[in-house]
Structure 1
C-alpha cells in the first residue's frame, strides 16, 4: 500500500520545515564564517602590533580583545538569523557586564594600568625602579601585577594600579647615576687636607667618571662635625658597587691621614652650688 501525503494537508508543514532549515543553515554559515573572520582579524592585529614592536603582553591582550568583541557580534548576528530577538538579550548582557564590572573594578583597574605601563613604558623588565611602595629590579609585567625583586632577592608582587597611582622612579633609564655621600670631620681637623683626601678617594676609584666632574664641598657646620657633600658619577650598572666601595675607601683614607669622624656626644656639667643646697 503506497503512502499518500496530501499536499493540501502537509504542504504548509513542509514549507515551514524548509524555512526553519534554511534559517538554521544560514545561522550556521554566519557563525562558522564569522568565527573564522574574527580569528583572522585577531591574528592580523597580533602580527601588526608585533611588527611595530609593541610589548608582547599588550599585543596578546588587544588581539584577544578584538577576537572576543567580533565573536560577540557574530553570535548576535547568528541569533538574529534564527529569529531570536536580540534587543532584550543585549540589555541582559549589558546589565550582567555592568554587574561584573562593578564586582571586578579593582581587577579591571589593574588591567587599565597595565595598558598604560605597556604603552608609555615608564620602565621595562630589567630596570631598577621605585614604584608602588617597592624598590628593586623589575622581573615581569603582567596584565594584573608587576613583579619586583629587591636587592636582597625577595619577590614583591605589586598591583599595577598601585604603580600608576603614585610616582615612578626609574634608576636605569639613564646611562649614568650619581653617588652621594655626606662625610663629617671634627672641628679640630684640617679642612683643606680632608678635602684633598676625599678628592683622592674619588680619583682612585676606577668606577668614577671624569665627566660630569665630581664634587667635594662643605655643606654644613653641624653640632659636632663639619660635613662634606661628596658626589661622584658612575655607570648605572656599577652604582651599588661604587656606593659601598667608596664608603669603605673614605673611612680608610681618613684614618690613614689622622682625620677623625666625630659622633654625637653630650657633656654633663654638675652644679656644685645645687649639691651643697641639697645637703
Structure 2
C-alpha cells in the first residue's frame, strides 16, 4: 500500500510539474507560432516587393531579380527561426556561429558552383548577350537559348544542344554577332592577268546593286585586294543587316560564281570566296545550313 501510494504521489507531482511547464511555455509556443506566421507573410511580401522593384530597373534580368528576391525571403525566414528559438531559451549566438561555420564549409565545398553563380550574375547584369543572339566564345558557338544563374544553354548551327557553365563563358572573350544591327561582309574573286579589270569590278558592283539585302548607306565598294603576275583578286565589300548576313553571303557568292563563270571571254580558273571583314569570323550558320567555303570552277 505504501509503495502504491508513493507511486501515486510521484505521478501527481510529475503531472503537476508538466502542467506548470505547459502553462509556462504555452505563451512561448503560441508566440512562436504567431511569429512564424508573421515572418512567413512578411518574407513573401518583402521578396515580392523586391522582385517587382528590381524588375522595373532597366538592365536587371528577371532571373536575377528573382534570385535576389529569394535570398531576401530566405534571410528573413532564417532570422525569424532564430528569434523563435530564442523564445525557448536557446542561445542564438551559438546558433549564428554554427550557421556561419556551416556556410563557410558549404562555400568551400561548392566553390566551383559559386563561381558559376557569380559569373551568372555578372552576365545577367552586364548582358554581353541575350536570348536569341548568335555568339562565339572560346570553342563554343551557337544561338543563346537561355541564360541561367549556373549555366547558359545554346543551340549550335547543326541543332546540337550545348550547356556551358557561366564561369567558362565569363573568363574568355565573347563575340556577339547579333548585337549590332548591321555587319560588313566581303566577296572576293580571282581573275587572270589577261582579263578586263574594270569590267570585272563593274560586274561585281552590279551584283551588289541587284541584291536588296546590300545596304546603300554605307555604299558597297569594289577594290583590288591583291595582284601578282598571274592575275588579281578583286573584293566586294558591303554592309548588310545582321539577320541577312548569312543569306547575303551565300547568295552573292553564288551569283559571283555564275557571273564570272559565264563571261564571254571565259576565265580559265576563276575563284570566288566569301568571308567576313578581316580579323573577324562570320556568325554561326542558320540551323540546317551548310558551312560556307570557297567556290572553284
Q: TM-score range by the shorter chain?
A: 0.7 to 0.9
The gaps in structure 1 that reach 5 residues or longer are: 5-9, 264-279
For 1:18, the equivalent position in structure 2 comes to 23
**Maintained 8 Å contact 2:189/2:270:** no
Higher mean C-alpha displacement, 224-233 vs 103-112: 224-233
**Maintained 8 Å contact 1:23/1:81:** yes
**Maintained 8 Å contact 1:224/1:262:** no
Give the alignment partner of residue 38 of structure 1, picking from 43, 57, 61.
Answer: 43
For 1:206, the equivalent position in structure 2 comes to 212
**Maintained 8 Å contact 1:185/1:225:** yes
**Maintained 8 Å contact 2:186/2:235:** yes
For 1:97, the equivalent position in structure 2 comes to 103
**Maintained 8 Å contact 2:225/2:233:** yes
**Maintained 8 Å contact 1:194/1:259:** no
**1:104-119 correspondence to structure 2 within 5 Å:** 104-119=110-125
* CA separation of 1:261 and 1:97: change in aligned 2, threshold 3 A: farther
Give the alignment partner of residue 254 of structure 1, picking from 228, 252, 260.
Answer: 260
TM-score normalised over the length of structure 1: 0.82
What is the CA RMSD across the aligned residues, in angstroms?
Answer: 2.6
Offset of 1:261 from its aligned partner?
A: 4.1
Number of equivalences:
257
**1:170-209 correspondence to structure 2 within 5 Å:** 170-209=176-215
Task: Give distance in 2, aligned partners of 1:219 and 1:34.
Answer: 72
For 1:55, the equivalent position in structure 2 comes to 61
3-state secondary structure, aligned to 1:180: strand
* CA separation of 1:225 and 1:79: change in aligned 2, threshold 3 A: farther
Q: Which has the higher contact order (CA 8 A, sep 6+)?
A: 2
2:33 is equivalent to residue 28 of structure 1:
yes
